[in-house]
Structures are given as structure tokens and as C-alpha cells.
Structure 1
């Protein structure tokens, strides 16, 4: 999964809100001048999703756009893995794996800090 660099936190849980239309995803994965970056010669291979962070320990809810070559389930919850690498600095994207922790409609069991237990 591709995640905005400034939004990534290991263990962060997000709920997928909706899938973006393909033309918007392609536009977001291009540089402002319309060209592609070397890592992304075919941005149409990716699906874009709007995801909202789940409230948790000292977190305010925020919204981000993530991209994946696979598909994500709308209204399901996913957690960002700790292993991350820079995908492209011009697009400000990290690449990381995610784990689905809840299906659509289920509660996201966001880990709590020791102070909240």
C-alpha cells in the first residue's frame, strides 16, 4: 500500500471510507506537470481509497488517501505495518503492508496505551 509520508504511523488503524474514481487516482499519482515518476509508469494499476483514522490513544481523527494494487474493503479497518520504505519522494509516498483487523461494520479494536487500560 502507498501511504502519504506525513500520515504514516506504524500501527495506525484506518477505516476505508470509499474508493476513488480511477481518473482521479491516476491524476493524484502523477506529478503536477502530468508526468509519471519512474516507480509508477502505469498509475492506472493502482486503486485509490479515502481512509479515515480511527480514534485512539492521543489521536485526532484525520482523513487521507491511500493507494494499492489490490483492493480494500469499504468500511473495513486496516492497520499499517511497522516495515516501511520510501516509495517516491516527489509524490511524498511510503510503501507499507497493511493487515485487515475488522470487516465492514465491525468495530476496529484500536490498541490502547497502558495509561488507557
Structure 2
């Protein structure tokens, strides 16, 4: 899997597992990604003024025995991944949007 230009992905804070490997299950529809990256009122947040520039992915953490449930969401900007791709989340993360509860981390 190749990282996006700035090497960062977004995940919800409650789904972040530092250094965990994951497998990409599928991509989200653009409209679904836009809805998720907006507030409940349909407004954008300062950190994401153009949510349609992001691609949402459904991923599952994996072990030697294969993918594990539950699925989580991962967002990239200007990059998309295909079903079956795999990578690991970075060891370090920082708050990206407290309003949406998203953190930014690298993928390895």
C-alpha cells in the first residue's frame, strides 16, 4: 500500500490502535464519506473544508489468523486503496478534528 502525499490517514479516536496491521475491505461511496466528515447538522469543520477530497475506506485490523471484526473507517486525501490492500497504522497520532473525533496518523 502506498501512502498519500502527506503520509497521513484519519481514523476515529476510539478506533485507533497504534501499530496495528489492517486489511482494506472496501471503499465508501463519496456521498457517505462526505456525510461522515461533516457535523450532524451537515456543516463542514475548519480542518475539512472540502470533505469530497477525502476517500473513505472500510478496514479491519488483522492478525496471523486473518481479519478481525469489527470494521473501522479510515480516510485518506488524494489517495485511495483497493480491497485486499494491507498496511499498519503508525505508532504516533495527533488530534486532527476534536469536533469529529478524528486523529491523524501515518501508515506504514
- With structure 2 as the length reference, what TM-score do the two structures score? 0.83
Structure 2 gap ranges (5+): 1-8
| C-alpha separation in 1, matches of 2:82 and 2:104 | 19
| C-alpha separation in 1, matches of 2:87 and 2:14 | 18
Q: Which runs of 4+ in 1 moved over 6 A?
A: none
Counterpart residue number, 1:76: 85
| C-alpha separation in 2, matches of 1:19 and 1:61 | 17
Is 1:98 matched up with 2:98?
A: no
Residues 40-95 of structure 1 show CA distances to partners (whole Å, capped at 9, x for unaligned) of 00000100000011136xxx632101100111232111100112110011111110
The higher radius of gyration belongs to: 1
- With structure 1 as the length reference, what TM-score do the two structures score? 0.77
Structure 1 gap ranges (5+): 100-117
Counterpart residue number, 1:12: 20
Higher RCO (CA-CA < 8 Å; seq separation 6+): 2
